[in-house]
Chain A
Amino acid sequence: MPTATLLPLAVAIPLFGAVLLAVAGRVLPRTGCDVLATAVAVGDVVCLALLWPHTHGVATAPLGGWPAQVGIVLAADRLGAGLALLAACLVLAVVVYSWRYFDEPSGERAGVFPAMVLLFEAGMVGFALTGDLFNAFVFFELMGATAYALTGYRIEDPRPLQGALTFGVVNSFAAYCSLLGIGLLYARTGQLNLAALGRGLAGHRTDLLVVTAFVLVITAMLVKAAVVPFHFWLPDAHAVAPTPVCMLLSGVMVELGVYGIARIHWTVFSGPGGVPDDAFRRTFLALGVLTALTGAAMCWQQRHLKRMLAFSTIGHVGLFVVGIALLTPDGTAGTALYVAAHGCAKAALFGLTGVLLDRYGSVDEPGLYGRARELRLVGVLFVIGALALAGLPPFGTGLGKGLTEDAAGHGHPWLPAVFVVVSAVTGGTVLRAALRIFWGFGETPRPRPGEPETTGEGEEPEIRGPRRALPPMMVAVPAALLAGCVLLGCVPAVARALAGGAGTFTDPAAYRAAVLGPAAAATAHPGTPGPVPDAWTGAGVLLGLLSAALAVALAVLATTRPPTWHRAIGATARGLRRLHSGHLGDYLAWLALGVAALCAVIAAQT
């Protein structure tokens, strides 16, 4: 099929499936809904897989028969299509995982959950494939609104409602900031198409209007990507969302924010009249490192398993931001692979946490101490997931981390250290939890009353009747995701394809030519850069082994001798934790501060 059909179909299939489920869910039995949802999810994976070979350059599809200068265009390059494919695969995993998950009241609501998941998929795929800024905002809000509803899906419990409200208000406010930015850009150029916007800006000087528009437009992406100080909503939402939803939120939605920043920067602001490369690089390297270290430090402090995984996502997002902030094809290629592998590993870990929640009605690390000894297989998978998070070769996370480190180390020799520390600490934290929960390592944890923390006790089990057998899919899906994570690292074709895609992604002239026609790319082509590295290197393997070894050491140290060195860093850590107050007003104040600071910092560098 031609790409002009496949591109819109990739968005239309899940939209249509969602409508079908919402209508047919009233009459179909539970099994019928599950089969229908799975079929639609498989259909979208197939559609995007068919699209994948056509994305050597940039595949485009003008919508409604209007040419790109007037209408809305969908444009997929390798990285955009790859991210959409990742989203589709994770949605399929989630749909299969939740076959027997919710003990829903049958009848009218049977199809609601899978329908919302498919709607969420439509938003994510659309956001990854669109070539129009306002269209991106609409898909962003579709993705957002469905995510708020899914987060607050279990309305019986107070905390999901609180998490969903915080998530909704903070993200929507940021989206409106973004729309203000889009308005300012339209005022300057009269365009909404990403490629045409880039061309339009080239005729102007970089002034305060462009800087303000840039910061406002990417505010929504920064919030979605949970970059410090825009990240506060994320742990609250992830801690309370149903487990299958967490798999999607952490696995791919957050990464779409990073993708949005990179896409908008490259297509719109990278040329003359945009944001200077140096300003972008310095600012986002600083933001990325800050995010990575904050995420890792907070991750270590958590006892609520989902919150722990959420902060580990923040840590990794920081690394992704560093990767794209390098503004090189190498960094972008490494980050793309890292994102895909991290998505698989993180979704698998959330899925396994769901098993614990199902069996014991708790996701509290000290509360579960030694209780899950009988779940050996789950424990082994959990440890494998933790090591994947730490970047152990041959996992795809290891390869992605190695490639990004390599790219980062060229100009900034200290950056690989950040990568090693962050992946070791986040992997070590998860490993620590696994050793305590599944093997009862170390001494029984003592209660810590009076600490400003979220415990994972008193959670509603998401499935009623814990005495039934464990649904096999709840273990099979995480295992398959971890296998996918290994494949990403071991199959050289994937890394090679992404490396080629990164070359196109970082070439705004090629994008402009594909979307607006060859005549539009009048600016001089910078010349084909050298081949982008796409294979394991000795240094990458060594650093991967180092961070995995550090993770194991941290986990063992933490389980055997907690109190002494814990207290030493306790004071600073407590201050950091107090900032995560759970109050909506505080989070928005941080958001406003972040926007103002970014404006000032970027304006000062232009």
Chain B
Amino acid sequence: MGPWPYLAAGWILLVALYGLVTSRNLIHAIGCLAVAQSSTYVLLLSVGYRRGGTAPVFSDLRPGSRPVVDPVVQALALTDVVVGATVTALLLALTIQLRKRHGTVDPQALTGLRG
């Protein structure tokens, strides 16, 4: 596949960064954070990719009979999904509280902390 998946991962990260920096809505910002995380999925999966490889599940596959993709990065990506789900849920919960108590979800309207 050449360098393309890596460049795509970098591009996704930068797009997410742009979204985060310019965000005017916390839910949008947390979405951007999830986009940033998907760049890690793309990178991890492309690291483990093998041309012509199949899923590394050996229940119906004799070991060694055909190439499989790297299972380690898939385990990493799965763990990463779990971590991401936790963090996203937590941040969204905080945002809900913010909306309830202060009626805003605009990060730029929060000026309580500076200097």
Contacts and interface: CB of A to CB of B under 8 A. Distances in A.
Contacts of B110: 158, 162, 582
B87 A145 contact: yes
Contact of B101 (A155, A164, A451): A155
A182 B114 CA distance: 34
B29 to A, nearest CB: 6
A164 B94 contact: yes
Contacts of B17: 173, 588, 592
Contact of A141 (B23, B83, B97, B101): B83
A398 B13 CA distance: 44
A308 B94 CA distance: 25
A284 interface: no
A158 B22 CA distance: 22
Interface string A559-594: 000000000000000000110111111101100100
A169 interface: yes
A229 to B, nearest CB: 14
Contacts of B29: 169, 584
Contacts of B30: 169
B115 A451 contact: yes
Interface in B80-115: 80, 83, 86-87, 90-91, 94-95, 97-98, 101-102, 107-108, 110-115
B68 interface: no
A55 to B, nearest CB: 28
A186 interface: yes
Contacts of B26: 165
Contacts of A588: 17, 20-21
B98 A585 contact: no
Given A169-B20, A588-B17, A582 B101 contact: no
A183 interface: yes
A301 B21 contact: no
B9 interface: yes
Contact of B23 (A152, A156, A584): A584
Interface string A153-180: 0011011011111101100110011011
A158 B9 contact: no
B79 A138 contact: yes
Mostly, the A contact residues are helix
Contact of A585 (B83, B90, B107): B107
A584 B20 contact: yes
Interface residues of B, number: 43
B69 interface: no
A168 B115 contact: no
A130 B111 CA distance: 39
B107 to A, nearest CB: 5
B94 A168 contact: yes
Contacts of A589: 21
A179 B21 contact: no
Nearest to B21: A585
Contacts of B80: 179
Given A145-B90, A585-B108, A138 B83 contact: yes
Interface in A176-212: 176-177, 179-180, 182-184, 186-187, 192
B114 A582 contact: yes
17 contacts: A145-B86, A148-B90, A148-B94, A161-B98, A162-B98, A162-B112, A165-B95, A169-B33, A173-B20, A179-B40, A182-B76, A183-B47, A580-B114, A582-B112, A584-B20, A585-B23, A585-B108
Given A180-B9, A180-B40, 10 more contacts: A152-B97, A158-B110, A161-B102, A162-B110, A176-B13, A177-B13, A179-B76, A183-B44, A580-B114, A585-B107
Interface of B: 9, 13, 16-17, 20-23, 26, 29-30, 33, 36-37, 39-40, 43-44, 47, 72-73, 76, 79-80, 83, 86-87, 90-91, 94-95, 97-98, 101-102, 107-108, 110-115
